[in-house]
A and B are shown apart, each in its own frame.
Chain A
Amino acid sequence: MAITYTSGEQVEVYRFSIPATILIPLTAVFLQAWLPLRFHFFTIFDLPLLVTIGFATARRSPLAGLFTGGLIGILQDALTHQPIGLYGISKTVVGFGASSLGIKLDVENAGARFLLTILFYVVHEVVYFMIARGLVGLHMAWSWPHEIGSGVANAALGVLIYALLDRVKQRT
């Protein structure tokens, strides 16, 4: 459960194949759009965010993380009728932060991943809330209990997804 501080030499950097890099985010965005229609409770999950965190922590490259997060976010935005960039900016920040933290911390164990996901879920929601209210002028209500609860649910699902991503990542 402990998050251990590791030196740069100790962390391993992984990469993903091109099909996995394209298909996994696409599948995540597709499932995020499709599943809530059949199972309404699924709206609390954010699969593209979990994939962004998973990719960023495995690659441990801030640039790769921010671009991956930005592209996944823009793809997610493009399916909505809201201006493109709301999810894009939020996930860019998360991708950069997760990969930067992945360099400093050992995020290979489930406990660290769980806590990291809660943290970045909240960061994502805060950035999204600020942009939606400040830039786009949407009416949104902020509720800490709801955000923490959703963060825990996403973290639980995230641990499973990261385990699946571990199977397709390749050591550099």
Chain B
Amino acid sequence: MDVLGRYRNLIVLVGVLFAQVLGLAVQVRRTTNGESAHLIRIWAVDAVTPLEKGLNWVRNTSGGIWHNYFYLRGVRAENRALKLEIERMRLEQARLSQDADQARRLQALLAFKEQFISKTMAAQVIGGTGSELSRSVYIDKGSRDGIKRDMAVITKDGIIGKVLYVYHSTSLVLLVNDQTSGVGVILDKTRLQGILRGTSSGEVVLEKVMSDETVPVGEQVLTSGGDGIFPKGLPVGTVTKVSTGSDLFLNIRVRPSADLSRLEEVLVVTKVDERQAEPDNTAAVRAVDILAERLPTVPPKPATPADGAAKNPAAPPSGAAKPASPGALLAGQSTGQAKPKSPPPNGQAAVVTPSTAAPKASAGAPPASDATKTTMAPTSGAVKFGTSNSGAPAVKKSTTPASPAINPMTGTQPPATGVTGKPAPKPATPTTGPAVTRKPESPPQDNPQ
């Protein structure tokens, strides 16, 4: 007993250490399911994350008050610069959409299945782990928000990691620079595939690229979609250093696109759809149309019914669908409205808005700018080609009552329809350009008139 009493402290120390080592060994053995010692983690996270959330709330609130109410210096200049940037990007978008349309057509030909990020959830980074061996962060969304294990987490710059543990109101996100993470990636130009891994020092390396391959420094690294977590094509980083490794593979260093040391807001990809690519039948927006928007518009000339479109209902559909101005075309597309360049499929009737029908019918009359403006507004009565299940003409996405359409053949005015197909209220003021209902499947040359 004396010996036990004399070495009591040491015996307890050995006992505690033995218990912890045993527990560690059990966890290492069961590391595949990731759920070992889950209860201790829940307690720890529940004890610490409320403090982190509270501190973040205080920080964001005080920062928001300062930035939104007091510190507004330079906002006008920034606004001007942003407007210019939007102009530039719209032109760029017009160019890129041509390429995208072509790619979609080709993909459709090949029955290519694409993955689309269809749903994301914004989350805020509330804390880290405080350990250099565990490069992961906590976000303020958990199982109650629909977060699940292995969901991809991204920012606007690129991927940052995946959800590892999900708790009730928080989740642990394993960053791509952690040494236990792995992401299937592909090099943008050379199309070489590899695995992206973190290192113990927090760097990111690309593994499993054979040493006889050539990888240029500066090449973009994208997700390959092979890991089943990240959809294909998301930016990952840039190659910064390439050297020959001791084995058959290259040592490739990658600088992540997203700044992993300064994460504040992230997006959790909660839903990824896989669907076959379909060619986009909408007419592409041309850069010239965008540039033409800047030109001064001609003042509207009131169109009389005699000059209206009703007199010439047999005008070619393609001509009728031509917009009054390039701006109208753009507006129609940007709001998901009428697609002027492509006639609707056979058997479908097209309801054309006054703004698109009037100019053609009035034979050189100036465009009805009032109507054009109405169409350009995001909430204007947007009409889209299409049919209901029964084959009857369908009106889609009409948010405001469209102007009454007159059947040129009968001269009657059918009841206008709204979103639900119910008769819409009569407009307070009649529009100058009457709408026409056409049968676009009839080619112009076959028209009896």
Binding site for B on A (CB under 8 A): 26-27, 29-30, 32-34, 36-37, 40, 43, 48, 62-63, 66-67, 70, 74-76, 78-89, 92-93, 96, 100, 131-132, 135-141
Contact = CB atoms under 8 A, between A and B. Distances in A.
Nearest to B40: A78
15 contacts: A30-B52, A33-B138, A36-B130, A75-B47, A76-B131, A80-B131, A82-B134, A83-B27, A84-B24, A85-B23, A85-B24, A87-B131, A89-B21, A89-B24, A135-B25
B130 A32 contact: yes
Contacts of A79: 41, 44-45, 48, 129-131, 134, 138
Nearest to B164: A81
Interface string B31-54: 100101100110111011001100
B27 A84 contact: yes
Interface stretch (B10-18, B67-75, B303-311, B421-429): B10-18
Contacts of A40: 261-262
A74 B164 CA distance: 19
Contacts of B164: 81
B342 interface: no
Contact of A139 (B23, B165, B199): B199
Interface in B110-163: 125-134, 136-138
B109 to A, nearest CB: 45
A131 B25 CA distance: 11
B406 to A, nearest CB: 65
A33 B17 contact: no
Given A75-B44, A96-B9, A37 B20 contact: no
A37 to B, nearest CB: 5
B136 to A, nearest CB: 5
Contacts of B37: 78, 83-84
A140 B9 CA distance: 32
Contact of B130 (A63, A76, A83, A140): A76
Interface in B69-124: none
B180 interface: yes
A85 B179 contact: no
Interface string B374-418: 000000000000000000000000000000000000000000000
Given A78-B37, A79-B45, A83-B27, A139 B130 contact: no
B183 interface: no
Interface residues of B, number: 53
Given A34-B55, A135-B25, A136-B24, A80 B136 contact: yes
A63 B200 contact: no
Given A62-B13, A78-B41, A141 B201 contact: yes
B263 interface: yes
Contact of A81 (B8, B180, B199, B201): B180
B130 to A, nearest CB: 4
B256 to A, nearest CB: 15
Nearest to B31: A83
B172 to A, nearest CB: 6
Contacts of B43: 78
Given A78-B43, A92-B20, A34 B261 contact: no
B248 interface: no
Closest 4 CB pairs of A and B: A78-B44, A80-B134, A32-B130, A85-B24
A138 B17 contact: no
Contact of A89 (B20, B130, B136, B261): B20
A135 B26 CA distance: 11
A89 B16 CA distance: 8
B371 interface: no
Nearest to B43: A78
Nearest to A45: B130
Given A135-B28, A138-B200, A78 B45 contact: yes
